[in-house]
Amino acid sequence: MKALKQQKIAVLLGGTSAEREVSLNSGSAVLQALRNRGYDAYAIDPQQTSVMDLKEQGFERVFNILHGRGGEDGTMQGLLEQIGLPYTGCGVMASSLTMDKLRTKMLWKGFGLPIADMEIVTAANAAELNPQAVVERLGLPLMVKPSREGSSVGLTKVKALEELKAAVDLALRHDDTVLIEEWLDGIELTVPVLDNQVLPAIQIIPEGEFYDYQAKYISDNTQYLCPAPLSEAKEAELRKLVKRAYDAVGCRGWSRIDVMTDSEGNFRLVEVNTTPGMTSHSLFPKSASQVGYIFEDLVEKILELSV
């Protein structure tokens, strides 16, 4: 097989999901890093170019930096396997599963891993929603989110009973399954995993009440503490939990797992990002830098893990 630097590399970016702009930014950074390291890399936007034709165009490997549906949900991974192109990141099953927050959490729960308590609403049963019953069981405030959307699209913090229905309606515009979760009022953490190594955790301190799209991609006031200020024992507990969560859903290559703590400091798994952001605000590069990876090193390592 040819050495990687002798192969023609497609950097998949953009796409058609709600996270298109983030993917374009991530892809531009990845493309520049690969070219800086001497790779024969090209930007490919599936919105403009058919991925089906990549092999015929001489491409031999794919760095997938598509975020959201159509790129991170198993469909692109399945297509790449059908045409026989190695690609970065998780395979078909893990990509498809982890795009669905509900089913990811149900699997984790089945493995005995900790998640937030929740209610599930679908487009089919939304008319039967009883906000009073939900609030009595889960309390206030609540977090309402679409099951299959990323980058904090469609999220609402519900502080009052009368706000719940509108929050569910908003989330249903993005997906036909919605999670209403108990509010976790501890700290917010994200933990990257690279080549089965759990990297240093990052604590996120958003400017607002939670880590929404504004805080992730626009605000310069969100604080990131890396490594997170955890005791040695809590850090070890977190690493073990994240690795179990990563393995349970079948991740490979690289992924980032979000975790929160409840009011008593207990960890609760939130979600998996199988194609983490690689922008100037992104967290995976921040963590990787703590163990010696500059950005170009990280991009090259992810490419080397492609299968």
CATH code at position 110: 3.30.470.20
Q: Same structural domain for residues 37 and 149?
A: no
Of 167, 182, 197, the residue that ends a domain is 182
19 catalytic residue (yes or no): yes
DSSP-derived secondary structure letter, 115? B
Nearby residues of 292 by Cβ (< 8 Å), 6 or more positions away? none
State residue 218's pLDDT score.
62
Q: Same structural domain for residues 106 and 254?
A: yes
Q: Same structural domain for residues 110 and 230?
A: yes
Q: Same structural domain for residues 218 and 139?
A: no
Asked if residue 175 belongs to a known ligand binding site, the reply is no
- Pick the catalytic residue: 151, 255, 287, 306? 151
Of 182, 216, 234, the residue that ends a domain is 182
State residue 209's pLDDT score.
67
List helix spans (H) across 5-144: 20-36, 75-83, 92-99, 101-110, 131-138
Q: Same structural domain for residues 231 and 141?
A: no
Asked if residue 273 belongs to a known ligand binding site, the reply is yes
Q: Same structural domain for residues 190 and 239?
A: yes
282 catalytic residue (yes or no): yes
CA distance 276 to 273: 5
Q: Same structural domain for residues 47 and 140?
A: no
CA distance 11 to 34: 9
Residue 79 belongs to domain with CATH number:
3.40.50.20
Q: Same structural domain for residues 163 and 137?
A: yes
Tokens of 155: 């999220």
Q: Same structural domain for residues 131 and 20?
A: no
Domain encompassing residue 221: 97-114+185-304
State residue 221's pLDDT score.
79
- Cβ atoms of 275 and 71 closer than 8 Å: yes
Could you list the pLDDT tens digit for every one of the 307 residues in the chain?
799 999 999 999 999 998 899 999 999 999 999 999 999 999 999 999 999 999 999 999 999 999 988 999 999 999 999 999 999 999 999 999 999 999 999 999 999 999 999 999 999 999 999 999 999 999 999 999 998 875 567 899 999 999 999 999 999 999 999 999 999 999 999 999 999 999 999 999 987 666 666 655 566 778 999 999 999 999 999 999 999 999 999 999 999 999 999 999 999 999 999 999 998 779 999 999 999 999 999 999 999 999 9
Q: Same structural domain for residues 37 and 166?
A: no
Asked if residue 73 belongs to a known ligand binding site, the reply is no
- Pick the catalytic residue: 19, 60, 182, 300? 19
- Cβ atoms of 3 and 39 closer than 8 Å: no
Q: With H, G, I as helix, E, B as strand and everything else as coil, classify residue 40.
A: strand
**Total-model pTM:** 0.91
State residue 211's pLDDT score.
62
State residue 21's pLDDT score.
93
Of 129, 163, 182, the residue that ends a domain is 182
Number of structural domains in the chain: 3
149 catalytic residue (yes or no): no
Q: Same structural domain for residues 214 and 169?
A: no
Q: Same structural domain for residues 150 and 211?
A: no
Count CA within 13 A, CB hemisphere, residue 7: 21
- Pick the catalytic residue: 17, 23, 147, 282? 282
Residue 178 belongs to domain with CATH number:
3.30.1490.20
